[in-house]
Structure 1
């Protein structure tokens, strides 16, 4: 059991013993609900049986089924140190909609496309609230973050600013040359390793490429160099923030104790966020001073310029703090998830040479052997490459559990009552590996997406790695372009082999489970220039 979980459980023990001492309650379990496939008839069966099985008409008997919680600590012990696997196994017992008690929190977990559709389509507004980890209070990020804010004028203004100034088709087309330059840097970096016949750390290379792509779109500057300490420093900051947001924290389980910050999560989060926030603030100050200088004539025409106009507009709803925290969100959401997905995609292609060969053949047919260079716009003409990306997102969703939504009122969901303020999340990892939804779910088979119109843009609820409804990830259009172009470039320009005489099928594909799904061992492979 990992240290955070141990600390969490130890913090809860005094409360548990106190209640056990005065009540002599022993642990019991609900009768398991044996649900395997998540279709509408079975959901209805569990809904009606859950209600009718009780002689009482109390609404508490209409809650989604779940394992009987311990007093005070709830289901923490059942979840243990591997929440992803534990919750997935519990769902196999209690069904595609189940409830958990984590201290004072009520969490409803969905692992069915039908229920996800009802939640995010029919009840989109009812589940539009957001809960945030106590660690997000570090630097008051929860008061400004587009990820944690409730639906409000502030949230709408931030989202509108993102779409207009960064993620619209017009803006993405205008910044394509920047991304092309950064992917060119990536190819040059990998080429150096091909000359030496050495393995390249694709996780680090992908992170640096995405980092510099975003920093150039925002600030017209690189933030790191390949293999540099600075790149590793930024990566540690980003992963540190994501780790603190996703790790078990007694302050989240028992908010009454949050002022103590017993595990130091909020303090560490504040330190990580402050480092990035002050960096962005320095860049903002430099740009403001340049604007006020008669000697400065350069027109950056980047996102920062647009947001400075917002700050200086008295009628704007965006403040200086809003903009700086938005930059923090963009770096956190963009760098880690995109680079991690690329790493998983390359790992699966190297591990499955026949799939790599299909991707190469398609690229050669579209780009050809002529002097025509691979362009970002060509990626949309590569259906098999798009299928590779979809298959990677199915097996390795960036967030194995979608960020939790909060019920802003009591909601009737598939016959069950989800009470106001309850959290609702979707187990994307379990849905992506559900044999009732996908044939041979544990195999990497991109062809499955060539035979269907399923996409990840929020309409096909068996496949919503970027969420759905009004809280769908606003950066999806950018992520699709960056990921597709990077992956196509690495496949097109190089052949790949596993180092140390390892066979492709023997590659380590284990994962670290957290708020994002990282490869336990960073991918290292030897490039061969073609």
Structure 2
């Protein structure tokens, strides 16, 4: 009998793998009961398609897979069926046509802990979701409320400019300064100026964002005892942070209640004058809740404030930093934006919203273009398919997790001319807004689960950028080439810069 050569062994192994793969696919199709499931890449036993995401950021890896398998793609992450949407048309079906079917969110382990089991707005389900959402839209972050926080934004933007000026021409960390400003804005509008626990809360919030930036093994293998055991250490750390942040929040709530009682709740007599968000929430709690028989618990209040801090400060700081990065890489765009700001302010010593409101259309285009290329939450918040549905003709089984890759949609050549280029001028004729009605541009999502604080965030970004562009000229340290500025993204809850944005600021004297 002839001796088997190494080449024959390799060929035989490959044939076995090929046959096994075909049999697995046939089994999958039979088990699907004749459903027309979306296409996807080849999977491995147990881990599914997770190996396709190794070595890249999830939204980037999913974009590359979608280019091969289509804008409606079905993956299996561990044991969890996962639908990835990468086109405006498919996003419209998920977030508008079948919005009610995809209205809930999968409850990941860390999110479950930090949101008190979905007592907040982002992960809420059940009877309190609609009243909470309505309360946020009509009271907490309504256009009137956003306007009422104007003085806070102006003061913090002025403080940002003073911090840069205090560096005396030395290199400044734009990302860190933007983060400080946005945290201070959120802290002041949420719990007021008098907050002894401010530093402790923000320190714990950083730990929260780190813990929420990945999956616990239980999220990927929800029925596995081994996964629960292996994920126990991370879950223990999550609970430890939660207990500390809960204690801080309870102290804030208690302090506010005492102040409201001692002051007679002067905010009630202020007519249109608004208090901080915590005071408003406590007033609703005291007066009987949110209507419809739904009470407002301390867990709801803590959850809403958690949403504001976790989402509001991180996304706005990230977008501000990316906008400055793109302006540095494109000096002609920087010059045009600065010329607009300085022409409008004309020698003013500080930037106020009364001076810039509606008068900086080019800067607004810069902000939109930054959102398009650098969506702060690239995959948005995940959704959950509540019942069997169809998306672009494909069957989506109940229980499927859904990611809408807005990062990929923003870079789609079929939707945007020269999609990879930073060109704010495209929005002169392409009149998209933040309402979530044009599914080529949905940085805050769309439908009933879209971000309720989008306009509040944009207002924070606009005055921060206006202040930085008005008061300073900017250059790369050491005379570096702006075109070679590192634009690599980091892994996390938001798509931040991987490297710090370090710039030299030259004071501009009007």
Of 492-501 and 370-379, the range deviating more from structure 2: 370-379
> Unaligned 5+ residue runs, structure 2?
1-15, 269-273
Question: Is this contact kept in 1: 2:115–2:303, CA < 8 A?
Answer: no
Aligned-partner Cα distance in 1 for 2:483–2:472? 20
Aligned counterpart for 1:185 among listed residues 152, 159, 178: 159
Once the two structures are superposed, the pairs formed by residues 111-150 of structure 1 within 5 Å of their partners are 111-138=86-113, 141-150=116-125
Aligned-partner Cα distance in 2 for 1:224–1:103? 44
Q: Provide the residue aligned with 1:343 in structure 2.
A: 321
Is the aligned partner of 1:169 residue 2:143? yes
Aligned counterpart for 1:490 among listed residues 468, 472, 486: 468
> Unaligned 5+ residue runs, structure 1?
1-22, 31-53
Once the two structures are superposed, the pairs formed by residues 54-453 of structure 1 within 5 Å of their partners are 59-82=33-56, 83-138=58-113, 141-150=116-125, 152-193=126-167, 196-221=168-193, 237-256=204-223, 257=225, 259-260=228-229, 262=231, 264-293=233-262, 301-316=275-290, 317-369=295-347, 373-375=351-353, 378-453=356-431
Aligned-partner Cα distance in 2 for 1:456–1:64? 30
| Matched length | 478
Aligned-partner Cα distance in 1 for 2:256–2:465? 34
The Cα offsets for residues 357-387 of structure 1, whole Å up to 9 and x where unpaired, read as: 0101111232223678542662432111011
Question: Is this contact kept in 2: 1:69–1:75, CA < 8 A?
Answer: yes
Structure 2-normalised TM-score? Answer: 0.87
Aligned-partner Cα distance in 2 for 1:133–1:115? 24
3-state DSSP of counterpart to 1:496:
strand
More RCO (CA 8 Å, sep 6+): 2
C-alpha displacement at 1:179, in angstroms?
1.5
C-alpha displacement at 1:203, in angstroms?
1.2
Question: Is this contact kept in 2: 1:187–1:490, CA < 8 A?
Answer: yes
The Cα offsets for residues 200-222 of structure 1, whole Å up to 9 and x where unpaired, read as: 11111111111111111122217
The Cα offsets for residues 151-185 of structure 1, whole Å up to 9 and x where unpaired, read as: x3211122222223321111122221121111111
3-state DSSP of counterpart to 1:473:
coil
Aligned-partner Cα distance in 2 for 1:351–1:60? 52
The Cα offsets for residues 318-377 of structure 1, whole Å up to 9 and x where unpaired, read as: 111110121111100111110010001011111211100010111123222367854266
3-state DSSP of counterpart to 2:358:
helix
Superposition CA RMSD, Å? 2.9
Structure 1-normalised TM-score? Answer: 0.83
Q: Provide the residue aligned with 2:459 in structure 1.
A: 481
Question: Is this contact kept in 2: 1:379–1:484, CA < 8 A?
Answer: no
C-alpha displacement at 1:298, in angstroms?
8.9
